Structure formats: C-alpha cells, structure tokens
Structure 1
C-alpha cells in the first residue's frame, strides 16, 4: 500500500469521497465496542460517550478492525474498482460477498467463516450461491434489517449516472435484502451521498433523497419517505441524552428504517462529525451499523479531515479505502 499523501493535495470532492468511506469505517469501529448495549448501560459506563476506537465488544474486535459492516462495504467498493465496461455490478459485488463469507478475506484465516453474519445476509448469500443470479436471491419480503444499507455507500460515491445509481443500489441490496424498505432505503441513501460529495448542503441533499423515495414509493406516504421525515424531526443530541424516542421505535436495534432515520438526523446535525458519531453510538443497541451508516453521510458532508487523525490511523482498511477512492475519482473523471 502506498503511503498516505497529504490531505491538502485533495480536491474538496476527493476529500468528501475519502471522508465518506473512512467515516463509515470509523463509525463501524467506534460502535463495535458497545454493540447491543442499551442506552442506559452505555450512559453508566461512558456518560460523555466513547471517543476512542478501542476494540473489544461482544465479538472481541481488535481496535480498528472491520466488522461485517465495513467488510461488506469493501465488497461493493472492490466491485467498482474492478469493474470493466459492461460488467454487472450486482454480480461483482455478490461474488465478493461470497469470498468474504468463505474466508477469502484479509485478516482472516483462509476458509474461515465471518465472525458475525446476519440471518438475512446468510440466507440471501445461500440463494445467490445456488442460483448465481443476483436477481434470484434475497431473504424475501419481511426481512427488513439494515444489512444492505450498511454496505451500499460505494454506489453513491462511484456511480455518476443517477438512473444506474438507483438500479445498482436496488440490485446490490436485493442479493440479501430484497424487501422494498431495504432496496428503496439504499437508493435514497445513495442519492443523498451523491449530492453531498458534490458539495450540496445537507438539507438539500436530504430533499433529493426524499424525492427519490417518493418516486420509488409512488407518493409521500411510503415507509422510506416517512423514515426520512422522522429523521428531520428527531435530534441526535437529545437521543444521546435520553435514548431513542417512541417514533424511532425506542430501540435503534437494526431495523432499516430506524437506521436510515438516524443517519438523516445525523447529517442534518450542525455539529462536527466526531461529536455527532459519538452521540450516535451513545443511543445504543446496533451501535456499529448505526454509526457506520451515519458516518458515511457525515464523511461525505465534512470530508476526510473531519475524522480525527487517531481514528483514521487505526482503521484496518483505511489506507486501502483512500487509495481506491483516489484512483476511482481520477479514472472515472468525477473530480
């Protein structure tokens, strides 16, 4: 891996692209320490929030080590890195997911299983392995966890065609999570990402995501559009102090619409990335995925330098993500 180049050499857009990937990775690693813990348990241990990436947690992660969130986002990222004209992005991503599942992955003993894999993800990958067709996989309607939202970010960063962005977001989600709440959430999230990396203010970027959700759900009363509206109403700082309110299900424990709403609330929070991500983790339960999804938006909004240097320096795939991001923003002429 080539040494880091100084962040001052990046264009604002490059910084936001790199920031998005590292924000996802950092949020995942920060939250992994406290995964599954309640708001009250976290408040008793860390009254002001956990501000360092220290590893541990229920799966004894090394500090800065990717969980399944970052690993699977990496699978999508590598698909965009390796794609040639005419390639099926969903198939490339799906094949990378199978490599991850079967142990062909950095930091793992060859052939070993992932430390953790969600039920819908395992079901969908089993069907994909059998069919070889990303459009004939998925866990089916009713499986509406956040396992595809956590990994969808690279499509928003590296697919400049907005119609293809929607198609690829939906199809890559559908490999494991084909419930429309998941597929539309991924498309709407990536619409926000695509606006943010172009320098669009957060409120306008969220409006673009809402407009796409309304289009895909045939109106403003669909569940994804409603989740984004909830994200506009709630405040991350208040939830960090008092826990998630009833309109967020009172849990934030893995439902895709809660994670999307929380990410919207995070990117609309006027504070810096570090303070917002610390507070997202303070809310509790699915702390790694909630912080990964929010971190992707915050990094796309604020850029690489908003991520504390101490966080960046400990990330397992930090240098790789940065190198790929810069290569893709150059080769695809998206600067």
Structure 2
C-alpha cells in the first residue's frame, strides 16, 4: 500500500492525515491484544507490541479496521458528503453510514454480514436510529457510558471549523448510540482539543481549552468530564504501561468506560515521547486496547502529523490510502 501524496502536504493537512492514520494505527495495533490484561500482555510482549500483526481474539487480518476505525470512517464519509452539500444534517449522514456498516454494506466484508464486534449500546442505538432516523431519539439511554462514540468522533474535530457547530455535531453524532452526557460531552471536549492541535496549538494549551469547554458544558467545575481531563494531566502512560492501571485512578481498569479512555488520551497527548512509543505503551496498559489506542492515536497524530506515524504501520492500514485522500481533499491548503 503506497501512502505517498502526489504533492507535499501542508502542515495542517499533515496533522489532519496524521490524526486519521494515528487513530487507525492505534486501533489496529491494539486489536491483537484486545481483552488481555496488563499482566498477560507483559508476559507475551515484555517490551510492548511494536508491530501491527493482526490476530487477537477475533482473528483480525493484519492492519484491518475494527469497529473503532470502521465507525470513524462512517463519520469521515459523512463530512465528505457535507462538504459537497452543506445543507445536509451531518449527524443523520453519519448514522446512515453506521447502518451501512452494521448491515454489511462495507469494504472488506461479505455483503449482508454483521461486523465482528458491535458494542451493546451501539447495537441498541442503531436499532432505534434505523426506525427514527433522528439522532436525538436513538441512543442506549442514560447510564450507558462506554467509549463507543468517543472512539469514532474524530472527523468532527478535523473538519468542523465553527466552534459552536463542532460542539453540537459532536454531541448529536454521539447521541445516535451513546446519549449519556458523559459520552456526548466527552466527544465535544475531545474534538475541541483536536481542532486546537491541528491549528498547531501546543498540547498543553489544547488540553486547557478542552478543560474550559468541559466546565462550560457541564455547568460546573467538578463535573465528570472535567475531572477526567484533570485526571489525564496527572496520569503517566509510561508508569501504567510498566505497572498496570492504578485501580484507585482507573476503577474500570481501562476496559471501556468513556471517562477513562478520555483521560488516557489526554495523558498520551501530553506525553512528550514519540507517537510510536506512547501508543505502544497505551496498548501495554491492557483491556480495551484497540479503542484506547485509537482514541489516543487520534490526538497524537493531530499533534505530530503524518510523519509521526511509523511507515511500517502506515503501510499495513486497511483504509490508509482512503483516509489520506479524503483528509487532504477536505483540508484547505
């Protein structure tokens, strides 16, 4: 797979494409050890898994997208359609692409086949959305606070330049499957940070902006999402990769709770090491390794640009060429 653009990328294009490929790479790297705990990964890969090798519990082909990247692609396709017709509702467009994915109208799948991995909240939300086609009348309900909408929300941060629309679209796309406020606000905060990073804002200032937005959306200074951002500032990815998740900080052991995945991503983007070293360590922490890797990878790619993603990883990504092409197409020079 050749991922070389025909013309050099602008700095902004590099960050946009880097974010998309960083998410895909984190997902594909983590898929090989998904559901394994820190101890199991440490035993099998004492220095961390450093290559995209496929396999895992669901026997993934090398570099294949899991639901994280597939659903990110669905939102990306919605923004490409919005670019051609700005009067459309991007949340409804995204939801329709989610349904295509769920029903088997998707690259690399037998027509009509179900995805290998679908979260319970995602399944419930898509069932409702298929009947209403209304993002605000779908969702799995309050109390369902998994990371299934945070994992796919990246394109809004990359391609919606209006701050108010960014918040609204992030939250409405989340509502299709995850309408708990911890999920909808986490998506808005994450995308606010992404938008700052691709403007070449420093990671520290981008996280500051996300924290301020969390306080505004939760209408208090100690809300759950605000606390997750603050926690991310204190976490050490390297320490958790070495010792495992601190259950005092991460009561869910990094196994799919939206606030923990957001906190890990914040810690990752503030880690001054290379994208590769940080993502390898995020995966070493264990449990929901593909989604934690994907969400962190999106921020790291927006921070470091396309050159931060190792060439040996980029060469294996199922949607690598498509993500680069659409990312460049939708990003003003």
Task: Determine if the TM-score, normalized by the shorter chain, exceeds 0.5.
Answer: yes
Cα distance in 1 for residues equivalent to 2:219 and 2:41: 40
Q: Deviations over 1:223-279 (max 9, x none)?
A: 000001000001000000001112122510000000000000000000010000000
Runs of 4+ residues deviating >2 angstroms: 1-4
2:77 counterpart of 1:78: yes
1:69, CA displacement in angstroms? Answer: 0.3
Report if aligned partners of 1:149, 1:185 keep a CA contact under 8 Å in 2. Answer: yes
RMSD: 1.2
Alignment coverage as a number of residue pairs: 330
2:151 counterpart of 1:124: no
Report if aligned partners of 1:138, 1:175 keep a CA contact under 8 Å in 2. Answer: yes
1:313, CA displacement in angstroms? Answer: 0.5
Could you tell me which runs of 5 or more consecutive residues in structure 1 were left unpaired when the two chains were aligned: none
Q: Deviations over 1:2-57 (max 9, x none)?
A: 97326x71111110000000000000000000000000010111111000000000
Give the corresponding residue for 2:21: 22
Structure 1 SS opposite 2:27: helix
Could you tell me which runs of 5 or more consecutive residues in structure 2 were left unpaired when the two chains were aligned: none
Cα distance in 2 for residues equivalent to 1:2 and 1:276: 25
Give the corresponding residue for 2:113: 112
Report if aligned partners of 1:144, 1:181 keep a CA contact under 8 Å in 2. Answer: yes
Give the corresponding residue for 1:168: 169
Cα distance in 2 for residues equivalent to 1:115 and 1:59: 7
2:202 counterpart of 1:209: no
Report if aligned partners of 1:244, 1:250 keep a CA contact under 8 Å in 2. Answer: no
Report if aligned partners of 1:243, 1:250 keep a CA contact under 8 Å in 2. Answer: no
Report if aligned partners of 2:25, 2:294 keep a CA contact under 8 Å in 1. Answer: yes
5 Å-filtered alignment, 1:138-287, equals 138-245=139-246, 246-249=248-251, 251-287=253-289
Taking structure 2 as the reference length, what is the TM-score of the superposition?
A: 0.98
Cα distance in 2 for residues equivalent to 1:195 and 1:85: 23
Q: Deviations over 1:195-222 (max 9, x none)?
A: 0001000000001111111000002110
Taking structure 1 as the reference length, what is the TM-score of the superposition?
A: 0.97
1:135, CA displacement in angstroms? Answer: 1.2
Report if aligned partners of 2:3, 2:320 keep a CA contact under 8 Å in 1. Answer: no
Structure 2 SS opposite 1:298: helix
Question: Is the alpha carbon distance of 1:129 and 1:279 closer, same or farther for their aligned partners in structure 2, counting shifts above 3 Å?
Answer: same
Give the corresponding residue for 1:54: 53
2:333 counterpart of 1:310: no
